[in-house]
Amino acid sequence: MPSLFSKWGKHVFRYFKALGSPVRFLIIYKMLDGKPYTKNEILNYVSSISGAPRTTVDRHFRTLLKYNIIKTAGKSLSSERGRKPLLYVLAVDSMMFYVSLLTYLLEGAIDKRLKLIEEGLSDVEALTEVVDEVKLKLYFAEDKISSEVSINLSRELDSCISLLFLVREVLRPKAVVTDCENAVKLLGRISTNQMILKKISLDKMRELLYVAYVESSISIKELGSMLGVKHLTRFKEYDDFWMEIESSYSNDLTTFLKSLASNTKCTDIESSYVISLTNNLIKYFLSSFRNHDLIPLFLTF
């Protein structure tokens, strides 16, 4: 599904770019619950939590509006002066936003978009500085803050923490495996997860196993002993060997991966085979999963 994926990717890219500044991050964050807010509510919230002047927040707000990240949602009830302030919401629902973000980050974590992850991290760094600044201000402004402001700020901080928890899980993908124990553990998990196995054809699996065979330069003999195949002398070529494997496992990936995981003794050469195979499997899965597969995937993994 490459075409669909890149279409999604484009959306995600836009939302991710929107997080490029801590102020925009806070604006979006405030609106993620899908409720309509007036501009005033958002400006108050963001400028109180970040310390940025309202005019700055307003500029970021208008940028988001211009690129259709947020949209107007009608008018609220009359305010004191009889005018009806406009309401705004995020242009996509929050679940879609999170899923897009997850996909985007997971894809980036594996290969080409590491740089953007780095940028994301520098945003986090900027946020940390905001935290520092707010903390410092609170130390010096004990008498000047009304209980109303502190209660509101406190409520916002509560929900901010859970959002960050999610982001942290995403930014720290457990995908790139570097040691044999983890690779074996992951292979074991993949072998028991039907939802994942459904995504890979036997042909693709054969290809990935061959790549691992070449990358690790393991010999047919060593590979055979790992898979419990006897009479190894018969096989001179990898293809012959593989045909034997396929027939002995009757094309059943589950059992095949299970026995691979349980027979590995993690010697040097075995390790490099298992690690290469696992990493390639992960790369393949991540590029073939669609967004709405991700949530159940996270739940089952």
Contact set with other proteins (CB under 8 A): 121, 124-125, 127-128, 131-132, 134-136, 138-140, 142-143, 145, 147, 150-151, 153-154, 157-158, 160-161, 164-165, 167-168, 171-172
> How far apart are the C-alpha atoms of 193 and 297, rounded to whole Å?
9
In 10 A of CB 204, how many CB atoms?
13
Compute the distance between CA of residue 48 and CA of residue 157 in angstroms, rounded to an integer.
12
Q: For 121, phi and psi rounded to 5 degrees?
A: -65, -35
Instruction: Give the shortest CB-176-to-other proteins separation in angstroms.
Output: 16
For the record, the structure tokens of 130 come out as 């905001």
Smaller CB separation from other proteins, 77 or 161: 161
Q: Give the shortest CB-135-to-other proteins separation in angstroms.
A: 5
Question: Measured from the CB atom, is 128 or 263 closer to other proteins?
Answer: 128
The residues pairing with 60 across neighbouring beta strands, listed in sequence order, are none
d(Cα 285, Cα 224) in Å, to the nearest integer?
26
Minimum CB separation of residue 19 from other proteins in Å reads 13
Nearer Cβ to other proteins (163/214): 163
Closest approach of other proteins to the CB of residue 172, in Å: 8
CB of 141 to other proteins, least distance (A): 8
Minimum CB distance to other proteins, residue 44 (Å): 16
**Residue 238: closest CA among 261, 218, 259, 256:** 218
Helix (H) or strand (E) holding 75: strand 70-75
Compare residues 41 and 123 and give the one whose CB is closer to other proteins. Answer: 123
Q: How far is the CB of 24 from other proteins (least distance, A)?
A: 17
Going by C-alpha positions, the residue among 250, 231, 268 that lies closest to residue 259 is: 250
> What one-character DSSP code corresponds to residue 244?
H
CB of 55 or CB of 165, closer to other proteins: 165
Phi, psi of 176 (to 5 degrees): -80, 110
Residue by residue, DSSP assigns 1-42 as: -HHHHHHHHHHHHHHHHHTTSHHHHHHHHHHTT---EEHHHH
Nearer to other proteins, 73 or 171 (CB): 171
Minimum CB distance to other proteins smaller for 3 or for 154: 154
Cβ(45)–Cβ(26) below 8 Å? yes
